[in-house]
Amino acid sequence: MNWTRFAAVIACVFLACGFAATPLALAPQLGTSAKTTPLILEENEGERRAVRGWPGHPDPRESFILKVDPKNGGSSRLVFMTANLAPGGEIVTHKHPGADEILFLETGTARVQLGDSVREAHAGATVFIPAGTWVSVSNIGKEPIKGVTVFSSPGFEDYMRDVSVREGEKNVPLSEAEDAEIAKRHSHAVIYKEP
């Protein structure tokens, strides 16, 4: 990919996520799409979800927005989502067996462990995570990290739906049995490293 095309892709990501204003054109398609639908989504538009608590973490206060996937826009080839990670927050060590991932940090400072490498990443950093690579992210800064994530194929978004509720719905923490069953059902999309 030449640099001009790469810059255009980054500009599109920034335009899709970076501004909050009145909706421009098409409304988000929430639910199953029979065909691919073009979307223009503002920063806070999309399928807004809140992470359910889990054993040991009954109230994680984390949320994310699924922007493009098979149910939002009908993409059969990629998943695009945004999330914030509070200061001190962590995405624990995990890997995605069947999808590459790109994480773009819009704001904040993170400690990223990628395979055997550990490095600080700052606002504007891009992290490429090949399928099957262990990764963890910790917010080591004083401000929230605003992150944008793209997956090369669908799968992980279904796991994220199973461990969350739509924004505004009653949020009941997962039981140990429910957490284990969800992890087993989605092991093709994500595997978390045991502590």
DSSP state of 189: T
Q: Is the pLDDT of residue 25 over 50?
A: no
Determine the 3-state secondary structure of 148 from DSSP: strand
- CATH assignment, 3-192: 2.60.120.10
**Distance in angstroms between the alpha carbons of the first and the last residue of the chain:** 39
In the prediction, which pLDDT does 195 show? 74
Question: In the predicted model, what is the mean pLDDT of residues 88-116?
Answer: 97
pLDDT in tens, 130-152: 999 999 999 999 999 999 999 99
Question: In the predicted model, what is the mean pLDDT of residues 143-169?
Answer: 97
pLDDT in tens, 125-134: 999 999 999 9
Residue 16 has which token pair? 């899709």
Alpha-carbon distance of 137 to 48, in angstroms, equals: 22
Global pTM value: 0.81
In the prediction, which pLDDT does 34 show? 62
